[in-house]
Structure 1
Amino acid sequence: MSTDAEFADARRIPPIPPQPPRRPAPPEPAGDPHTAVLRRVPGEPSAPGTPPVPPRPTAPPPAPPAAGAPLPPRAPGPPAPAVPPQPAARPAAFRDTAAFHLAHSQGLWSGPGAPSRPGEPDPATPQAAAGGEAPGPASARLAQPPWAPAPRPVHGGGPGGLPRRPPASRPGARALAAAACLVLGVGLIGGAAAGSWLTDEAAGATPDAAATFAKGRDVWHNTPVDTLFPRTVHGFGAGPGGADRTWSRIAVAPDSGCTGAYDPKLADALARAGCVRLLRATYVDATRSSVITVGAQITKADQAGMTALNTRFSTRSLGTRTDLMPLPYAARDTPAEDFGRAQRASWTVRVLTDIPVVVYAVSGFADGRTFAAPQPAEAATKPGATTAPAESGLGHDAKDLADRIGKDFRTAAGGPRQTTEASS
C-alpha cells in the first residue's frame, strides 16, 4: 500500500476546470428555411495605427412584404436599359429523374421534326417533369442540344485558317520529284547521244583537201621541231621478226635550201616539184650501232604536181636506184660523225600527195663500215631477206622512221595520219 508520504515530493497537478455552458443556437430568421445563417467571424487583430474595421450587422434582413401588400414608393431614377428576352430556364423544381432526361433527349436520337410513335410524346413538344412546372413556349427553347456538336476534323490548315485539300487529292511530292528526275535524265542522255553522234560525224568527216594541202606548205615554220622530229621515237614491232625498236634524236640540221643536199640525179628528179625548204635530223638506235638521217623537203608544186611526181617515182622505180640515194647528215661529235656516202646501207623516198612534202630516210652503221651493195628499205624488209641491211635492221630503221615523220607532218597540217601514197 502507498501512503501519502510516498507522494509528498511529487508535483501537484492542478484540477481541470469545468467547461462553460454551451450557448443556445440563435433562432433562424423567417424566410427561406433552406438558407443557412453564417456566424460572424471575429476579425484579425489589426496593427497599431490602423483604423478598426466596423463590425458587420447581425440583424437579419427585413422580411419580404406579404402577398397583395402595396410596395413602398421608390424614388424615380434613370430608365433601365432594355433587356433582351432570355430563353426559358429550367423548371424551378428540377429533378434528376429518368422522365426528365427522356423528355429532353428524344431530339438527339430521333432528330428534329422526327415523327413519334403512337402513344409516345412528341420530342418537339416539351413535357413537364413530374412535380414541376411546364416549360416555356416552343419559340423560347433552344433549337439545338445543350452541348455543341464536335467539329469535323480538317486535314491541315492553310493561311488564314482556311482548310486545305486532303493530301490524297494532290499528287505526291515524291511522284513529282520522280517525274522531274526522269525528264531530266532523258534530256541528259539524249543530249549526250546527240553530242557523241555529232562529234563522231565531225571526226569521221574528210577535211578539206585543199586547205590541208595549203597548210602543209607552212608547217615547217609554224610547228615546233620536237613535233616534226620527236626526240624519241618508239617502233613497237618495227624491227626484224617483229622486235621493238627505239630511236633517239642526236642532231638537227639548220633548215636550208636543197642545193647540194642530194646526188645530182636525185636532185634532177625532185627539181620538177621545186624546193621551199629542207629539214633534216639524225637518229641513233638504242644499241647506238646504227644511225639514220631523216629529211623532209617542202616543195612548190600543187596537188596535181605532187600526184604526178609520185606516179613518176613509182612507175620508173626511181626510189630503188642506187644512183638516186639521198645524202646523210653527219653531225660532228655524235655517233653519226663518220656517216657519209660510202656508209649508206639502206634508204627510202616517199612523195606525199596530200601535202607538198617529200620525205626520205637513209641508214648505215655507226662504226663507219662501208657497203658496196646498199639495198632499198622495201627490199630489206621483205620476209626471208638475208642481206646485211635486212638482218641488221637498217632497212626497218629507214622505212619506219620515214613513215613516222610523214605522219607527223600530216598531223601538223590537219590531215589524216594514214599513208596515201605507195613507197617509192
Structure 2
Amino acid sequence: MSTDAEFAEARHIPPIPPRPPRQPASAATPEADPHTAVLRRPVPGPPPAPAPSPPAGPPPPAAPPVPPRPTVPPSAPPHSRPAAPAAPAVPPPPAGRPAAFRDTAAFHLANSQDVWSTAGRGAAPPPAAGRPAPRHWPGTPVRPGGPGVPGAPARRFPAGRRPGARVLAAAACLVLGVGLLAGAAAGNWLTDDSPDAPPSPAAAFARGHDVWHSTPVDSLFPRTIDGLGAGPGGADRAWTRIAVAPDSGCTGAYDPALAKALAAAGCVRLLRATYTDATHSSVITVGAQTAKVDQAGMMALNTRFSTKNLGTRTDLMPLPYAPKDTAAEGFGRAQRASWTVRVLTDVPVIVYAVSGFADGREATAPQPAEDAARPGATTAPGESGLGHDAKGVADRIAADFRTASGIPSQTTESSP
C-alpha cells in the first residue's frame, strides 16, 4: 500500500500540457479559401411577403386595457421556503497536484490509508472531500459502528451468543420435548391400552379368581393333550379326556391330611377331569382348586410345601376321580402309583394329578412324579411312564389356567 501511495505523488504524475490559446476569427472572406468558397457562398433568402391591404369597412374596436397586478412587498413573502444550506466548501487541491487526476485509482489508493487504519478500531472513515456522506433510507436499521455513522462505537457479539443461537436452541428443546411426550404417549398406548398386551401381575392374579366359571371347560381341560417328548426316554405321549366331574367344593375331595394342608388357602371351587393314554393302559385324574387367599398367601403355601416336602408324602396323595362305565372305573385309592401337587404363585390355583394302571392293579410302591420321571428310574411308576403321565398332564392344565388369566405359560411349577 505504501508503494502505491508513493507512486501517486505529484512528482511522478506528468503534467498536462496547457491548452493552446483560442485564435481570433479570421477576417478573410469566404472567397479567400478556394476549398470552402462554394460552401460559404451566401444563400439567397425567401422573397418578402407582400404587405396586407387594409380591409374595407370600419376599423375593429380596440382591446380594453389590462389592469396591473398588485405587487407583493418583498419583506413578507407568502410562501417562502427556508434557504437551502450552503454546500460545503471544497478545499482546493494540494499544491503541485493537478485536479484532473483525482478520479484515478492511484489517487484513491493514496488517500485510503486513513480508511484502512481506522477500520480495525471500529470508527468509520470520514467521507472523501467533495463527496456527500452515504444516505440511509427511512426504515433501514443502521448498525452501530457501521459506515455513515462516524464516531459511533462498534458493537461486537461474543462467539456463541449471537441472537439466532438462543432461538435455535429453544426450538430444538421444544421439538425434543414434543417428541419425548409423543413417544411416551405412544408407548403407553401400545403397552397399556392394547388388548393384546399382557396384564400386570396383580391384574392377572385377580383375574385368576374368575377363570373357573368364565372359561369354557374345553379350554381348561382339553379333549386331547399332546405331550411332545413327555414320555420315558423323550418319547411322545398323548392323553384323551374320558370324564369331567361337575364343579364342586373341596369337602370330601381329599384325604384328611391333604385337606388339612390345603386349608390355609381356602377353596372357591374344585374342577376335575380324568384322562387315559393312547394305549388305554394308564389313567390320570387332574384337579384344579381355586383358592381364596391373595398372592402373598399363595407364596406362603408354596414355600411351606417346598420346605417341609409335603409333596412327597404318600399320606398327602390326591384322590382319583373314577366315573362308572369308563376306563377309570377301577381307579381307586389302592391303584394310585404316582402323583404331583403344584401350588401356583402367579394365579390363585392349586393343580394336582394322580396316575395309576387302567386294569385296576394295586401299586405297592407309589412314587412322586418328579422322582419317577427322572432318567434311569427303575421303579414300576418310572418304567411304565406313570410318573411322566402325572407330570405332563399337570403341566398342561397349569398352563391353561395361566393362559386364561391373561399371562403366557412360561414357568413350570415344580412339585414341592
Pick aligned residue for 1:381 from 350, 357, 373 = 373
Partner of 1:278 in structure 2?
270
Partner of 1:315 in structure 2?
307
Q: CA deviation at 1:416?
A: 2.5
Distance in 2, Cα, partners of 1:285 & 1:311: 32
Distance in 2, Cα, partners of 1:345 & 1:421: 21
AA in 2 matched with 1:278: L
Q: How does 1:234-313 map to 2 (within 5 A)?
A: 234-313=226-305
Distance in 2, Cα, partners of 1:249 & 1:413: 23
- The answer as to whether partners of 2:191 and 2:197 remain within 8 angstroms in 1 is no
Partner of 2:324 in structure 1?
332
Q: Secondary structure at the match of 1:233?
A: strand
Partner of 1:350 in structure 2?
342
Distance in 2, Cα, partners of 1:258 & 1:278: 6
Partner of 1:20 in structure 2?
none
- The answer as to whether partners of 1:314 and 1:422 remain within 8 angstroms in 2 is no
Q: CA deviation at 1:206?
A: 5.8
User: What stretches of structure 2 of length at least 5 have no aligned partner?
Assistant: 1-185
Query: What does the per-residue CA deviation read over 1:141-166, in whole Å, with 9 as the maximum and x for residues that have no partner?
Result: xxxxxxxxxxxxxxxxxxxxxxxxxx
Query: What does the per-residue CA deviation read over 1:294-350, in whole Å, with 9 as the maximum and x for residues that have no partner?
Result: 000001010000000000001111001000000000010000000000000000000
Partner of 2:411 in structure 1?
419
Distance in 2, Cα, partners of 1:346 & 1:299: 24
Distance in 2, Cα, partners of 1:245 & 1:420: 18
- The answer as to whether partners of 2:339 and 2:387 remain within 8 angstroms in 1 is yes
Question: 4+ residue stretches of structure 1 with deviation over 3 A?
Answer: 197-206
Q: Secondary structure at the match of 1:403?
A: helix
Q: How does 1:353-364 map to 2 (within 5 A)?
A: 353-364=345-356
Q: How does 1:129-278 map to 2 (within 5 A)?
A: 207-278=199-270
Partner of 1:395 in structure 2?
387
Distance 1:200 1:235, change over 3 A: farther
Distance in 1, Cα, partners of 2:310 & 2:195: 36
Query: What does the per-residue CA deviation read over 1:178-214, in whole Å, with 9 as the maximum and x for residues that have no partner?
Result: xxxxxxxxxxxxxxxx99x958997997631111111
Distance in 2, Cα, partners of 1:269 & 1:206: 33
Q: How does 1:95-134 map to 2 (within 5 A)?
A: none
- The answer as to whether partners of 1:310 and 1:421 remain within 8 angstroms in 2 is no
Pair 1:409 & 2:401 matched: yes
Pick aligned residue for 1:367 from 359, 362, 365 = 359
Q: CA deviation at 1:415?
A: 1.6
Distance in 2, Cα, partners of 1:329 & 1:338: 10
TM-score (norm 2): 0.53
Distance in 1, Cα, partners of 2:412 & 2:377: 26
Distance in 2, Cα, partners of 1:300 & 1:307: 13
Partner of 1:155 in structure 2?
none
Structure (1 or 2) with the larger CA radius of gyration: 1
Partner of 1:21 in structure 2?
none
Distance 1:363 1:353, change over 3 A: same
Partner of 1:25 in structure 2?
none
User: What stretches of structure 1 of length at least 5 have no aligned partner?
Assistant: 1-193
Q: Secondary structure at the match of 1:272?
A: helix
AA in 1 matched with 2:391: K
- The answer as to whether partners of 2:337 and 2:367 remain within 8 angstroms in 1 is yes
Q: CA deviation at 1:422?
A: 3.3
Distance in 1, Cα, partners of 2:256 & 2:249: 15
Distance 1:420 1:374, change over 3 A: closer
- The answer as to whether partners of 1:354 and 1:420 remain within 8 angstroms in 2 is no
Q: CA deviation at 1:372?
A: 1.6
* Aligned residue pairs, count: 230
Query: What does the per-residue CA deviation read over 1:360-393, in whole Å, with 9 as the maximum and x for residues that have no partner?
Result: 0000000000012100000001111011100110
CA-atom RMSD in angstroms:
2.2
Distance in 1, Cα, partners of 2:413 & 2:323: 31
Q: Secondary structure at the match of 1:282?
A: strand
Distance 1:383 1:276, change over 3 A: same
Distance in 2, Cα, partners of 1:366 & 1:420: 27
